[in-house]
Amino acid sequence: MSTNDLELYSSFSLLSTNDECRCHDNDEVRSSNKTKINDRYIQLNIHVSNIVIFIISLHKYNIYQCRKKFSVDTSLLSHKFLVHLINRIFNLNSNFIIKTKNNFVITDDFDVDGCIMNYTDETILELKVDQYDTNNEYSMNENNINDNYDLIEIENDSIIVTIKSISHRQETLLKKATNWFYGTVNTLSNKCLTKKEFHLMLDTTNGRLLNEQLLRQRIYENGCEESIRSIVWCYLFRVFNETMTNEDKKQYLIKATEQYNEMKQSWQSKKELEIITLENLIQKDVTRTDSSEKFFCNKTNSSRQKLFNILMTYCIYHPEPGYVQGMTDMVAPIFYVIRDEPLVYACFCALMRYMSPLFHLDGIAMNRRLDLLRKTIQAIDLELWHKIKQCDTSNFMFAYRWLLLDCKREFPFKDIFRVFETLWASLSIDQFELNNNNSDTDIDDLSPTSIITRHYLSRISSRTNTILSSCSCSPGLEESLSEYSSIDGCDSGYRDEHSTSLFDLNLNYSKQENIPIIPCIPLEKWLKNFSSIHNENEYSDMFTIFLCVALLEQNRSSIMQMTTFNVDNDDYIGSHFTRLSRKHDAQQALQLARHYHRQYVVFQIRIKRLQLIND
């Protein structure tokens, strides 16, 4: 085992034996309670237990008229609210009575609370509205109702009732004065995951992670301390998982190092023209990647040589998509954090299981992301969308680099770690899992499932799937590269094809203990544009899209002031963002991206629950 391996393993031991930090969780790994939706789950742990699904059917003189389905924040529910909602939806004049399906009349808040107390996530609250003449004894008036809710109507007579966004509420003078004096207070903690907190997430007897969902939630909210980042990232990529003990991790590091060295030596001993060409191509990009950072210019740590080895090994054993410009940008931060070459290779393979479609020649995944960005900014900020269309002749091609590299080049290098770990934590776990049962591919990617179950590896696996065995069959690298667009410019070179799904939108209704409960999230009207998702797989990487939207919003005032007469070329917006490369405010961008992403996830969860009524 290398020195770096031993250092990393010793840190596991330290984290699992600290006497001052005791974990109060059970030894068994907790499995999250998940509401099944089309055999898919959402990974992000956003509580939706404060939502009630109910059906209101309207009857006139005991004759059925129609019905509506509602998803309502429980904090809104009261008798007056129900009266106001029914009047608003069915255009009535309070000449009705509200009953349960068992004909129990609801007349006050006590009755409403009784209905809610018996409600669970697996049940639907059914209410019946009987309309009568205005002189009926049950007639009601709605006075002093605070209209603090919004309606988002979706298909199939379904309505999402949400707390009105703060931006649309009228603030009292006292509230305005308080905000001015103290500043706006963020109720969510802005403290990143500390080393001590991470101690508490590990079993003190064997070092096993007790609650993976909680870990990912904490990283999504605020990231982690630099001192534990290397270990946390291994968990985010599923190179380490909740079933692995300290001994498992130790054995994995030993065997993964052996396997990686064998794979690396296999191409180092070859001198075919294609391998030499690949070496020259990768070496050129490695030399330029993050060249302003001292770590990568330090000849004593051989960092550039190790980056080169990782990329060469990956491309040899993954001829599809092979090497594409931009891969160096993605592996460099991982190497900077983890520093161990075999472990970095394993993490990079996991990342590429999520990102590799973006690097394919067909351009399908990139076209899909571009289309999704256009749709999202049009939904959120129509005025800005029109301005971009007016000034941008490339149809959003200035964002090509953002979408390909998950905005890596838009923030200072020191901030990209927090950006990446937040983004990776927002993804479902299966984005980093292998999607097949090919054990050879598992070994080539140093998958822990296959590596730690094999005592020794006698030879390089999956040789027939590498370019070592297919030099005469594969196209020339220079010819292939010419078909790619440059990530530094706006010449895309790809076609306007309809995209097919390569991703998941996985919905998870977690009720785990210790997961921070998020207050009711106001949902804004722009979400209605995402109410009809026929293919969930195309919307799994929305955090990247919202991060791009945040970049546009950060530069909104500059974009809105642009005219076609005050610039020197046609790429107005592209030139603007080129000058701002690595200068954007990462903290502000993450805050805004999370703001949109939380709304989006909760909205999709609530839509799915309403859809279950039809199913």
SS3 of 536, please? helix
Q: What is the largest CA-CA distance in the chain?
A: 95
Concatenating the DSSP letter of every residue in 362-425 gives T-HHHHHHHHHHHHHHHHH-HHHHHHHHHHBTTSSGGGHHHHHTTTGGGS-HHHHHHHHHHHHH
User: CATH 1.10.8.270 spans which residues of the chain?
Assistant: 247-359
Query: Within 13 Å, how many C-alpha atoms sit on residue 318's CB side?
Result: 28
Amino acid letter, residue 158:
S
Specify the amino acid at residue 580: L
pLDDT digits (tens, 9 = 90+) for 8-61: 444 443 333 333 333 333 333 333 333 333 333 334 445 456 788 889 999 887
Q: Do 317 and 444 form a contact (C-beta atoms < 8 A)?
A: yes
| SS3 label, residue 26 | coil
CATH architecture designation of domain 51-131: Roll (3.10)
Contacts of 168 (CB under 8 A, 6+ apart): 150
Write down the pLDDT at residue 441: 56
CA gap 459, 263 in Å, rounded: 9
Rounded CA separation 274/315 (Å) = 12
Cβ neighbours for 593, distance < 8 A, ≥ 6 positions apart:
422, 543, 546, 547, 549, 550
Which stretches of 237-325 are DSSP H helices? 246-268, 273-288, 294-297, 303-317
Contact predicate 399/366, CB 8 Å = no
Tell me the CATH number for domain 364-434+516-612.
1.10.472
Q: Give me the residues paired with residue 69 across strands.
A: 55, 158
CA distances from 524 to 45, 86, 194, 329, 614 (A): 20, 21, 33, 35, 25
Q: Which part of the chain is CATH 1.10.472?
A: 364-434+516-612
Q: Tokens for 588, please give them.
A: 């502000």
pLDDT < 50 regions, the chain: 1-45, 47, 139, 168-189, 436-439, 454-465, 469-486, 488-518
pLDDT at 49: 61
Residue 256, token pair as written in the block: 């993964």
pLDDT attached to residue 489? 44
Write the single-letter amino acid at 603: F
**Pair of tokens at residue 286:** 């490695």
CB neighbours (10 Å) of residue 129? 22
Q: What is the pLDDT of residue 391?
A: 87
pLDDT at 67: 92
Give the three-state DSSP class for 224: strand
Domain 247-359 fold = Helicase, Ruva Protein; domain 3 (1.10.8)
> What is the separation, in whole angstroms, between the first and last Cα of the chain?
55
pLDDT digits (tens, 9 = 90+) for 332-385: 999 999 999 999 999 999 999 999 999 999 999 999 999 999 999 999 999 999
Q: What is the pLDDT of residue 533?
A: 65
Amino acid 127: pLDDT:
93
